[in-house]
Amino acid sequence: MQAIVDCNSFYCSCERLFRPDLRNRPVVVLSNNDGCIISRSDEAKMLGVGMAGPYFKARHLIEQNGVTVFSSNYHLYGDLSRRVMDTLRILTGHTEENRKVEVYSVDEAFLDLSDVPPDQLHEYALHIRHTSRAMDRHFRIGRRGADPDPGQTGQTRWPKKNKKSTRCVVALLTEGEQRVALQQTRVNTILGDWRILCHQTGQLGDHQRLGTM
């Protein structure tokens, strides 16, 4: 069984480490030269601040709603990313001989949970989420979820959107559970080459759900 751990609004979460007053307040992080918006807190998303759009186009909305804006600090994000991954390695018993963690990006990693009994996967994922935050009380990076067998990386957006009921953890253990998750996942929530390929081939529209393929 495989899981994916995806940190929530990672760059914004990193900046909030040093600005606890910004918790539960809208925050965005900009790209090099402050050109585009590359990270948004949940509060900024709720205001309608778009992802990857030019900053100047969203500036009025941002200023009108008191959104805090940060220039990107990749040295900080890289350092905290290493701490995330090191914590996951400790929790999963990762060694060079028995690799349990595969780093996917600065804020995502795949975990090998094949040693965990299926009926314990959900609680084990919660344990990873809670313990990884408690190991360093100054480290407040939010975890988006740990989802066994996510299939496409984009499916991690589903537990994120339902985080109040799922506690940011979803175990998709059966075909039925996976089908429900797919039916609730819109194509326009998926990033990367897979989404682009679907549009190029005319297979899917933005608002079509994966479960209708």
- Residue 196 confidence (pLDDT): 56
pLDDT-above-90 percentage for the chain: 46
* Lowest model confidence (mean pLDDT) among 94-103, 142-151, 187-196, 203-212: 142-151
| Residues contacting 180, CB < 8 A, separation 6+ | 211
pLDDT in tens, 169-181: 888 888 898 888 8
Phi-psi region of 108 (alpha: psi -120 to 50; beta: other; left: phi over 0): beta
Phi–psi pair at 194, nearest 5 degrees: -65, -45
Marked catalytic residue, from 108, 123, 175, 177: 108
Active-site residue 108, yes or no? yes
- Residue 98 confidence (pLDDT): 92
DSSP states of 31-89: -GGG-BEEEE-HHHHHTTPPSS-BHHHHHHHHHHTT-EEEE--HHHHHHHHHHHHHHHH
Q: Give SS3 for 209.
A: strand
- Residue 9 confidence (pLDDT): 92
Task: Please tell me the pTM assigned to this model.
Answer: 0.76
pLDDT in tens, 96-132: 999 999 999 999 999 999 999 988 988 888 888 887 7
106: which 2 tokens? Answer: 């600065």
